[in-house]
Amino acid sequence: MTAHFLDAASPHPMRFPDGTLNRGLVHLNRVIDHPNIEIGDFTYASSFDPPGDWAARLAPYTYAGAPERLVIGRFCQIADRVRIVTASANHPMAGISTYPFAIFDHARVGDYIDQISGLPDTVIGHDVWIGDGATILPGARIGSGVIIGAGAVVGGMVPDYAVVAGNPGRVMRMRFDDATIARLMALQWWHWPPKRVARATAALARADVAALEELAA
């Protein structure tokens, strides 16, 4: 096992077989320092055109001091061109015009205060795979173990271990039956110490829930 395996402290945790560092793949919580964004260990994003500012690439509407947060769990995998649109991207819609006059004159914010207060957080669970070019909409609540297909546009509530695709995104199938999902959610392997996770990779790869339960004991 290589020394860098499951190294949460490394901003660039992957090397190619020839030993070259993959600078297009990053542990997000090692390259993002943003008061409105919370990201768990081992969650990575990858890009063929890696940005200087990963927060701006992934969640460009999430500004410091915004009334909502973006929360992403542990061990998530975020592909190239994913965009997370948080609630501050929305224009006020209750009035006659949606033109955002207040962004040009902050003294007018009071006209819209009831529409921009209490905006919903966007929450992505643990071990979620978000495919190339997918878009996550404001206030989405995505469960753990979810797979989001390439190009999907996903909002609302997504249950644990669902497979979502399309625009609008919809649940195509569940990855496991209800009983197995309940066992996996009880295990919450993503919170295990890294050494235990390293011992569990074979069981995770072959969906051996009984072996995971033995490791958790």
Do 47 and 145 reside in the same domain of the chain?
yes
Active site residue 91: yes
pLDDT tens digits along 59-80:
999 999 888 999 999 999 999 9
Residue 35 lies in a domain: yes
Residue 213 lies in a domain: yes
pLDDT tens digits along 155-167:
999 999 999 999 9
Identify the active-site residue in 12, 91, 106, 126.
91
- C-alpha to C-alpha distances, 13 to 9, 31, 34, 132, nearest whole angstrom: 9, 12, 21, 20
Do 150 and 47 reside in the same domain of the chain?
yes
Do 59 and 158 reside in the same domain of the chain?
yes
pLDDT at residue 130 in the model: 98
pTM: 0.94
Do 206 and 169 reside in the same domain of the chain?
no
Say if residue 3's pLDDT is above 60. Answer: no
| pLDDT, mean of residues 119-137 | 97
Do 192 and 144 reside in the same domain of the chain?
no
Domain span including residue 46: 25-175
What is the number of domains present in the chain?
A: 2
pLDDT tens digits along 103-113:
899 899 899 88
Q: Where does residue 5 rank: exposed (0-12), middle (13-18), buried (19+ CB within 10 A)? A: exposed
Do 171 and 216 reside in the same domain of the chain?
no
Do 61 and 114 reside in the same domain of the chain?
yes
The CB density around residue 142, as the number of other CB atoms within 10 Å, is 27
Q: Tell me the residue ranges of DSSP E strands in 8-104.
A: 25-27, 37-39, 44-46, 70-72, 77-78, 83-84
Model confidence band, residue 2 (pLDDT cutoffs 50, 70, 90)? very low
Rounded distance between C-alpha atoms, residue 31 and residue 24, angstroms: 12
Do 156 and 200 reside in the same domain of the chain?
no
Do 61 and 164 reside in the same domain of the chain?
yes
Lowest mean pLDDT: which of 22-26, 99-103, 127-131, 144-148?
Answer: 99-103
Say if residue 1's pLDDT is above 50. Answer: no
pLDDT tens digits along 182-206:
999 999 999 999 999 999 999 999 9
Q: Tell me the residue ranges of DSSP E strands in the chain.
A: 25-27, 37-39, 44-46, 70-72, 77-78, 83-84, 122-124, 129-130, 135-136, 141-142, 147-148, 153-154, 157-158, 162-165, 170-174
pLDDT at residue 77 in the model: 98
pLDDT at residue 4 in the model: 53
Tell me the average pLDDT of the chain: 95
Amino acid at 143: G
Percent of the chain with pLDDT over 70: 98
Task: Report the CATH number that the domain containing residue 99 is assigned in CATH.
Answer: 2.160.10.10
Do 41 and 95 reside in the same domain of the chain?
yes
Do 32 and 128 reside in the same domain of the chain?
yes
Instruction: Determine how β-strand 170-174 pairs with β-strand 162-165.
Output: antiparallel
Do 51 and 72 reside in the same domain of the chain?
yes
Residue 207 lies in a domain: yes
